[in-house]
A and B are shown apart, each in its own frame.
Chain A
């Protein structure tokens, strides 16, 4: 099983300031088809998760461009260029390169 490790687990941020969440996998997420199936989800309080980024850096439809994803191999990052109040929630990275699919522990983003 691929273990996904996120840091930090808590990220207090000031409105308008940037934030970054790191996600590291225990093995390479490069699939045999050449794709890297690493995605990022946002879960606002009391809501189901929402897809933000898929295949490392592809922003899903309707996601604000202040969200961006990067990385390769085993190291990945989600960046929020300027945090807004609606960005409060828990962020998860997840891999779908190998079964079982696995999630990171989640990073709680809150406003200072």
Chain B
């Protein structure tokens, strides 16, 4: 079964750090684009970051310089290192896979987020 499980959320003080993990099963993170999306309480979805299968990474302006996305292929896991946390970072953080189609053995991204985890809650408060 294709699945994503996020862990690592919790309560942290402003200025603190957390590392979120997203472990995949049923597919390989190294050959897919993987994203983080967050949702503040009662609010809509906000894209946070993406890591390409080839390695390049991208960030929302609101987290650039503070958050780092990375991947451990041996653990089939994607991470989101969050530093200098602010109250406005309080949200449920979802990991998602970018939908891809296999053509001649290569995954071609279709840029729709097709597999989502259940989310992990991050609360930044003193």
Q: A residues near B, CB below 8 A?
A: 1, 35, 37, 39, 41, 43, 48-51, 53-55, 58, 60, 90, 92, 94, 96-97, 99-106
Docked pose: A53 CA to B80 CA in angstroms: 27
Smallest beta-carbon distance B5→chain A, Å: 12
Tell me how many residue pairs across A and B have CB atoms closer than 8 Å: 70
Q: Is B113 close to A, CB under 8 A?
A: yes
Docked pose: A39 CA to B111 CA in angstroms: 8
The stretch that binds A, out of B24-32, B43-51, B67-75, is B43-51
Smallest beta-carbon distance A52→chain B, Å: 9
Q: When the two chains form their complex, are residues A100 and B113 in contact, meaning their CB atoms are under 8 A apart?
A: no
Given A39-B113, A41-B113, A96-B111, decide whether A51 and B45 contact each other with a Cβ distance below 8 A.
Answer: no
Smallest beta-carbon distance A89→chain B, Å: 13
Smallest beta-carbon distance A13→chain B, Å: 20
Q: Is B60 close to A, CB under 8 A?
A: yes
Q: Is B118 close to A, CB under 8 A?
A: yes
Q: Mark B82-114, 1 if CB is under 8 A from A, else 0.
A: 000000000000101011000000000011111
Identify A48's interface contact among B35, B47, B59, B119, CB under 8 A.
Answer: B119
Q: When the two chains form their complex, are residues A103 and B44 in contact, meaning their CB atoms are under 8 A apart?
A: yes
Q: Is B9 close to A, CB under 8 A?
A: no
Given A60-B99, A100-B58, decide whether A49 and B110 contact each other with a Cβ distance below 8 A.
Answer: no
Smallest beta-carbon distance B2→chain A, Å: 11
